Amino acid sequence: MKIGELAAQTGVSTDTIRYYEKVGLLPAANRDNNNYRNYNEQHVSYLRFIKNCRQLDMSQEEIQRLLSLATEPLESCDDINALLDAHILHVQQRMTELLQVEAMLKNIRQQCNSPTQVQHCGILEGLREVGIVAIENKSSHVV
């Protein structure tokens, strides 16, 4: 199948498919005589797996590790479990960070509760203040 068909079947854009192939998440497609990429059902399976992982906010490194582990069907799931446990921890940390961001935004929003001119906007003034607190220990998504 051509890249457009693969994109339609998986809901992944052609640019993203090319990118995943370039970075090694997706196996390279065979090329036809006219140099067009020719994809198969294995590519569909890979793309669905990658798309599901991305929807769970997994990094490319995490996805690459899972794909690598999937090639060893007789090995223990310990590494997969550890990867998912680490990702769950990352998600929990990110949720805490987002709650802090929400609280800061609500605080700034309260600075302008009535219609006024932009030149007197409390929100813009609040965003200019030095007092915005940086999120401590902002978590990295890379494992």
If asked whether residues 8 and 41 sit together in one domain, one would say yes
**Number of domains, the chain:** 2
Q: Which domain holds residue 8?
A: 3-55
In a domain, 84, yes or no: yes
CA separation for the pair 97, 33 (Å, rounded) = 52
In a domain, 124, yes or no: yes
In a domain, 122, yes or no: yes
Instruction: Indicate which CATH number applies to the domain containing 13.
Output: 1.10.1660.10
DSSP 45-74: HHHHHHHHHHHTT--HHHHHHHHHHHT-TT
pLDDT at 134: 67
Quote the pTM value. Answer: 0.77
pLDDT at 142: 56
Residue 39 is classified by DSSP as -
In a domain, 90, yes or no: yes
pLDDT at residue 19 above 60? yes
Query: Percentage of the chain with pLDDT > 90?
Result: 62
Chain segment 24-76, per-residue pLDDT in tens: 999 999 998 888 889 999 999 999 999 999 999 999 999 999 999 998 988 89
